[in-house]
Structure formats: structure tokens, C-alpha cells
């Protein structure tokens, strides 16, 4: 069975500082990994995905993520956080061996302070 | 905005009632997936429809059922509502080239269901 873990319920960072949101995964086959962001009373917005190829994936709004197969991780990063980045972030995995469903982590709340 | 729309935005029902939620997929997309997001949790996969056929189901009882129409819009039906069905229901659409594709799912804003 596929699973995703986001070990931090909340991450606090000062505006302008680097932001990292951690994600580890477990799948039986090749992982297809996604990051989404959710603002209050809104649906999930797609940020980026890793399917194959370069381990460093660049996405929307200046976010990037690094795929590390040996550590089964896919951490989300942003070099300089903005107050507007404060939101709920979800990591998800899609394993073809388990069908087409997305399996989500529990989410990490990011709070960027001015 | 993703172009995925859901209706209604909010809904209040009582235990034992039935509810129908609707989703219009992004133009050109042929696959709709439904998720339940309880308060403080990540979304949980309910089921997926690919070209009008169910294409995978999560760990939800049969009282959760769905449809996909020829225009690829979709409905989620829940019978015999229970208090624990209170959640945000999200639909996501994607353009899947096959039934086992890895294309990105784009989410709608969700329907907030409250069961009293």
C-alpha cells in the first residue's frame, strides 16, 4: 500500500527566510509525487510534480522540490518565503500499482511571519 | 483558477438523508476523481471515473456512489447520511490518456457538507 508522511504539523518561518516542508513516501512501484497548497475555504492548488527525470523539480510561485530515492523523500522548498505563502501544504503520491488514486499526507501548516 | 466547478458550495443535511454533489470538469478533461477531506486531515480518495466508467474506488461503503456523464461532468451521491460524513468534498479533473495515467489532477473549490 502507498503512503505519505508529513512529519511536521506546522512550520514557522520569518518572511525572506528559506522555507522547507518535509515529505516522505512509501510505494511498491515507481512513485509519482505531487505537492498541493490549500488556502482557507479553497480547494487544492497544484504546485509541482515529479514523474521521472531530474531530481530537482521547479513549480509555481517560486517553489521547488527535490526527489531523493534513497531517502524516499520529496521535500518542498522555497528560497525566500512570503507572508502570502502561509497556507496548508499537502504532499501526495500516485502509484500505478495501486491504481490512479492520489494518497495524501496529513498536511503541514506553514506560517510566514513578517 | 482551475476551471473545475462544484455545486453547491455549502450544504446542511440531517442524519439518514441523501445528498447529491455535482462537479464540472475542466474543459477537455475526461477523468473525475472524488475525495473526502475531514476537518484537519488530508483528502481521502473516494472513487474515480474515467470516460464514464468507475476506475478505482477507495475504502468507502457502497452508500457512496457516483456517475459520470457524456460531457464528463460528475455526481457524487451519498445515501443514509451519518454524522461522520460531515466534510469538505473535493472533485478533481484530469486529462488521462489511459486508465492508468499519471496526469495532474486539478481540484475544484469543494462542497462543505454538514450532517446534523
For the stretch B12-36, pLDDT in tens is 999 999 999 999 998 888 889 999 9
Using a CB-CB cut-off of 8 Å, the residues of chain B touching A102 are 33, 35, 43, 45, 92, 105
A35 touches chain B (CB under 8 A): no
Q: pLDDT-based confidence at A98, cuts 50/70/90?
A: low
Contact call for B4 and A45, based on CB within 8 A: no
Q: Is the pLDDT of residue B96 over 90?
A: no
Residues B29/B95, Cβ–Cβ less than 8 Å: yes
Q: How many CA atoms lie within 13 A of A72 on its CB side?
A: 15
User: How far A26 CA lies from chain B's nearest CA (Å)?
Assistant: 16
A106 touches chain B (CB under 8 A): yes
Cell match 461522520: residue? B84
Dihedral pair phi/psi, residue B19, rounded to 5° = -140, 145
Check the CA dihedral B36-B6-B100-B54 and report its sign: positive
Share of residues in chain A with pLDDT > 90 (%): 78
User: Using CA atoms, how far apart are residues B27 and A88, in angstroms rounded to an integer?
Assistant: 27
pLDDT at A43: 86
Check the CA dihedral A40-A42-A44-A47 and report its sign: negative
User: Per-residue pLDDT tens for B52-79?
Assistant: 888 889 999 999 999 999 989 999 999 9
Contact call for A43 and B109, based on CB within 8 A: yes
Residues B81/B115, Cβ–Cβ less than 8 Å: yes
User: How far B81 CA lies from chain A's nearest CA (Å)?
Assistant: 23
Check the CA dihedral A17-A58-B39-A32 and report its sign: negative
Residue A61 DSSP class: G
Using a CB-CB cut-off of 8 Å, the residues of chain A touching B6 are 43
A19-45: average pLDDT:
91
B19: its cell numbers: 445528498
Amino acid at each position: 500500500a502507498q503512503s505519505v508522511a508529513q512529519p511536521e504539523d506546522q512550520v514557522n518561518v520569518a518572511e525572506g527566510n528559506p522555507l522547507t516542508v518535509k515529505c516522505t513516501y512509501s510505494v511498491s512501484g515507481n512513485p509519482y509525487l505531487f505537492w498541493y497548497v490549500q488556502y482557507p475555504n479553497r480547494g487544492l492548488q497544484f504546485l509541482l510534480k515529479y514523474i521521472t527525470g531530474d531530481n530537482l523539480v521547479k513549480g509555481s510561485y517560486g517553489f521547488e522540490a527535490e526527489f531523493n530515492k534513497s531517502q524516499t523523500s520529496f521535500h518542498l522548498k522555497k528560497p525566500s518565503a512570503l507572508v502570502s505563502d502561509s497556507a496548508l501544504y499537502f504532499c501526495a503520491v500516485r502509484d500505478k500499482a495501486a491504481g490512479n488514486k492520489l494518497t495524501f499526507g496529513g498536511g503541514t501548516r506553514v506560517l510566514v511571519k513578517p | 483558477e482551475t476551471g473545475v466547478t462544484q455545486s453547491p458550495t455549502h450544504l446542511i443535511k440531517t442524519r439518514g438523508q441523501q445528498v447529491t454533489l455535482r462537479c464540472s470538469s475542466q474543459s477537455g478533461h475526461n477523468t473525475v476523481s472524488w475525495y473526502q477531506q475531514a476537518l484537519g486531515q488530508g483528502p481521502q480518495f473516494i472513487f474515480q471515473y474515467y470516460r464514464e466508467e468507475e476506475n478505482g474506488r477507495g475504502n468507502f461503503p457502497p452508500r457512496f456512489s457516483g456517475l459520470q456523464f457524456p460531457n464528463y461532468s460528475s455526481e457524487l451521491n451519498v445515501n443514509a447520511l451519518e454524522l461522520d460524513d460531515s466534510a469538505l468534498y473535493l472533485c478533481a479533473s484530469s486529462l488521462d490518456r489511459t486508465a492508468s495515467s499519471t496526469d495532474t489532477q486539478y481540484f475544484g473549490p469543494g462542497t462543505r457538507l454538514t450532517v446534523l
